[in-house]
Amino acid sequence: MFGECHAHIFMDGVNYREAVQRHLHGVDARVIRRHFEMYQEKGITFVRDGGDDLGVSERAREIAGEYGIDYRTPIFAIHRKGCYGGIVGKAYENMKEYAELVREVKAHKGDFIKIMTTGIMDFDTDGGITGEALPYAEVKEMVHIAHEEGFAVMCHTNGAGPVADLVRAGADSVEHGNYVSEETLLMMAESDIVWVPTITVVANMFGCGRFSDELLHEIYELGKKNIRRALELKVHMALGSDAGAYLVPHGQGLLDEWRCFQECAEDENVLKARIFEGEEKIRNKFRFF
């Protein structure tokens, strides 16, 4: 079975605020165990988390072995103060503070560094990316600092330009990567970066009534087109569902992501080989040294 390369163990796929409340006064290990049981039921033995500022993923790493799960975590994600990312991590205002947060991850034996360089898709309007992307020079320095400390870098990033910046900066994986262009895909194909699209986040919201189905289908079709093209260009790719996000259950979310990928390729055996190859790169790079 494939590994889940992008999850949030503290989220429950139903209500973010309620999920946070369960851990505000101390990590509720029952939640972690319930989610690990869901992975165990699906035969999923590798989970790479996106981090949180509640101590949940750090505690989850201590428990994971009981369920036969190889679990990796950045402990918390890192974002610029005032920009998107507060739901999963800690903020910095300058590079000195960023470097201190990287060292904090190291002190907690985090497996990698996760940075947030853009916002998210705004499903309430036109699907555009919220906020402003971090400038290339800043992203490059963030990746450099993390690499100097021996960490691989996982990047929450959307948009053709910002994803291209990651490639130029030498980042190790791009998460989501919505709205990439042909030029960006070509750059990715020539690099060692691994793309984890998390496209089932969109598909799983069809018919939920929360957002426009017309917009969701438009975003989904464009996402599939980009995945299909990335596969043709031999971009390194891996499966990650953003498990724990709205309507994306732990365990089942990965199977949903796989079905989305199956819609993008004719030869399933070739597709499996490609996905396992990308996942192996993640397993080898994103680990505590």
CA gap 174, 172 in Å, rounded: 7
pLDDT tens for the chain, 289 residues long, are 999 999 999 999 999 999 999 999 999 999 999 999 999 999 999 999 999 999 999 999 999 999 999 999 999 999 999 999 999 999 999 999 999 999 999 999 999 999 999 999 999 999 999 999 999 999 999 999 999 999 999 999 999 999 999 999 999 999 999 999 999 999 999 999 999 999 999 999 999 999 999 999 999 999 999 999 999 999 999 999 999 999 999 999 999 999 999 999 999 999 999 999 999 999 999 998 7
Residue-range domains of the chain with CATH: 2-283 (3.20.20.140)
CA gap 197, 235 in Å, rounded: 12
Tell me, what amino acid is at 64?
A
What pLDDT does residue 154 have? 98
- The tokens for 244 are 């724990």
Task: Give CA 50 to chain center in angstroms.
Answer: 6
Sheet holding 4-7, edge to edge: 4-7, 46-49, 70-72
Q: For 250, list phi and psi in degrees, rounded to 5.
A: -60, 140
- The tokens for 250 are 């732990």
Handedness of CA 235, 155, 218, 258 (dihedral sign): positive
What pLDDT does residue 289 have? 76
Other beta carbons within 10 angstroms of residue 7's beta carbon come to 31
Q: Are 196 and 6 in contact (CB under 8 A)?
A: yes
- State the pTM of this model: 0.97
The residue assigned the tokens 């992307």 is 133
Strand partners, 16: none
114: enclosing H helix or E strand: strand 113-116
Q: Are 178 and 123 in contact (CB under 8 A)?
A: no
Strand partners, 192: none
Report CA-CA distances (Å) from 157 to 42, 101, 197, 213: 28, 19, 10, 24
Q: Are 205 and 194 in contact (CB under 8 A)?
A: no
CA gap 162, 178 in Å, rounded: 10
169: enclosing H helix or E strand: helix 160-169
Beta strand 89-92 pairing with 113-116: unpaired
Q: Are 147 and 170 in contact (CB under 8 A)?
A: yes
CA gap 146, 285 in Å, rounded: 13
What pLDDT does residue 113 have? 98
What pLDDT does residue 288 have? 87
CA gap 262, 259 in Å, rounded: 5
Side-chain-side CA neighbours of residue 268 (13 Å): 5
